[in-house]
Amino acid sequence: MHLKPARRRRALVLLAAVLGLGLGFTVVQPAAAHDRLVSADPEDGAKLDTPPSQVVLTFSGDVLPSGAQVIVSTRDGSVEGEVAVDGAVVTAELPGDLPAGGHDVVWRVVSSDGHPIEGELSYDVAAAAEPATEATQEPEASPSPTSEGQATDAPSPDGERPSGDMTSSAGTDGHEHPTGVPGAELDENGEAGWAASWLFGAAVLALVAVAAAMVLRQRRMRQELDDREPPGDGPEDGPAGR
């Protein structure tokens, strides 16, 4: 049985198309292969004592720096690591306060052929990282009242308490003058002025009054002694004198 020429041509065209598709698939497939994840640290399903400080992903070929992303999800929420790409290695720095429990990692990078690839892994953390202890600052000592130049009410060595403010103020001549004397007002030179003169005069008058009182008292005592002596005869009135 012989095929007609038209059918024979159609069969040859169909056979050529099938052979062309098969050959094209075998040639294009290796060129279109994407990079793949080779290893991860921590590994998928790892059991850790404390949260890791970073996630390191290693791929079969160099990945593009742009578009790399690593997100870690915990019971407290999701955080995005600070990603750095070095050839085929992608490193994501993680915060140090991640909680314990399951950590789910979702990553996404751009393969060397320009196609984005993504994947995920997970690991378990037994305990959260211990918080860093901060050095406690000691409170600064507050200055005592005496450091401001004010006198205290502590008794003096002779048992007397100072009355009034015992601070001193410096005058224009560089000397210190008392300012705690009641009623004493400083003049333009920083001296006590009329108040000091008044006190000096009062002291002199008091001394004069005391001296006068003592003189009067002595005179009065002599007068009383003279009045108490009995009148007697002198030597010329006695027997011997006669």
Overall average pLDDT of the 57-61 stretch: 95
CA distance to 149, 150, 186, per residue, from 167 (Å):
7, 6, 14
Residue 137: inside a domain, yes or no? no
Q: With contact defined as beta carbons under 8 Å apart, do 101 and 74 qualify?
A: yes
User: What global pTM score does this model have?
Assistant: 0.45
Q: Which of 38-47, 60-69, 155-164 has the lowest mean pLDDT?
A: 155-164
Selected residue with higher pLDDT from 172 and 65: 65
Quick one: which of 122, 131, 68, 69 has its CA closest to 98? 131
Kindly give, in sequence order, each residue whose CB lies less than 8 Å from that of residue 231, ignoring residues fewer than 6 positions away: none
Residue 28: inside a domain, yes or no? no
Residue 13: inside a domain, yes or no? no
Residue 84: inside a domain, yes or no? yes
Question: pLDDT band at residue 46, thresholds of 50, 70 and 90?
Answer: very high
Q: With contact defined as beta carbons under 8 Å apart, do 120 and 104 qualify?
A: yes
Domain end (from 100, 125, 150) = 125
- pLDDT tens per residue across span 178-195: 444 444 555 555 555 566
Domain end (from 93, 125, 157) = 125
Domain of residue 219 covers 177-225
Selected residue with higher pLDDT from 95 and 11: 95
Q: Could you tell me the CATH number of the domain that includes residue 65?
A: 2.60.40.1220
Same domain assignment for residues 53 and 121:
yes
Predicted pLDDT at 165: 47
Q: How many domains does the chain have?
A: 2
Residue 140 structure tokens: 């600064």
- pLDDT tens per residue across span 96-115: 999 999 999 999 999 989 99
Same domain assignment for residues 118 and 198:
no
Residue 37's CB is within 10 A of a number of other CB atoms, namely: 17
